[in-house]
Amino acid sequence: MDIETLFEAAEQRWLSHWQRGPRRRNWTSVPLQVGDAAPDFELVDSTGRPRHLSEFWKGRPALLIFWRHFGCGCGVGRAERLRDEYDRLVDAGANVVAIGQGEPERATWYTEKFAVSCPILCDLDERVYRAYGLLECSTWLLLGKPKPEQAYFEELIQKHRAKGRRVADNPFLLPGEFVVDSAGRLILTYRYQYCDNYPDAEALVASIQEAGV
């Protein structure tokens, strides 16, 4: 499937999510905590190659970064921060990997356009996001108001296109960042409370160093 067709389908999913609103606002069971085993999944990377999450914590700690949707300005901000932080995270001992809501083709496009410093694995159906206890946020946290009229979304789609990044997939899905030690245990469970609620780099480095002990 060509990339433009994938972009258009992702825009329609984004619009459908806005029409129905967020649904997963609270946990129905205790979410993963520090000391729990990190769930392992097989996902494909941006090349279409199957990868297990556990590959990244084999022999050294891993930092799993669950991304915002591929049209989100907060995701672009995280890519910028990650470029600044990446060498420190790796020097602290981590394998860094991102999980995103997209197909390999869009993951490749995103990696190249925003110079993402690590591999991106594809979780379009959000099953791994759910397993790691990542919820959806309210329209108020995204817009500062309840759901606007349809014309607002049509205008927003055009604004994002003009910026070279298309709206996509589930706009309510919150990111998270998790440090896993080489035994597959969670050392840090950081779930964003809003779009650009980025974790402190010092906390990530300290958690990676703890995971390597």
Cα-Cα-Cα-Cα torsion 116, 210, 202, 93, nearest 10 degrees, comes to: -40
Please give the chain's pLDDT, 213 residues, in tens: 799 999 999 999 999 999 999 999 999 999 999 999 999 999 999 999 999 999 999 999 999 999 999 999 999 999 999 999 999 999 999 999 999 999 999 999 999 999 999 999 999 999 999 999 999 999 999 999 888 888 999 999 999 999 999 999 999 999 999 999 999 999 999 999 999 999 999 999 999 999 999
Q: 3-class DSSP state for residue 17? A: helix
Burial of 97 (0-12, 13-18, 19+ CB in 10 A): buried
User: Of 170, 177, 194, whose CA–CA distance to 70 is shortest?
Assistant: 170
Cα-Cα-Cα-Cα torsion 38, 189, 197, 155, nearest 10 degrees, comes to: 30
Amino acid at 74: C
pTM of the predicted model as reported, rounded to 2 decimal places: 0.96
DSSP type of residue 46: T
In the chain, what are the domains? 3-19+37-211 (3.40.30.10)
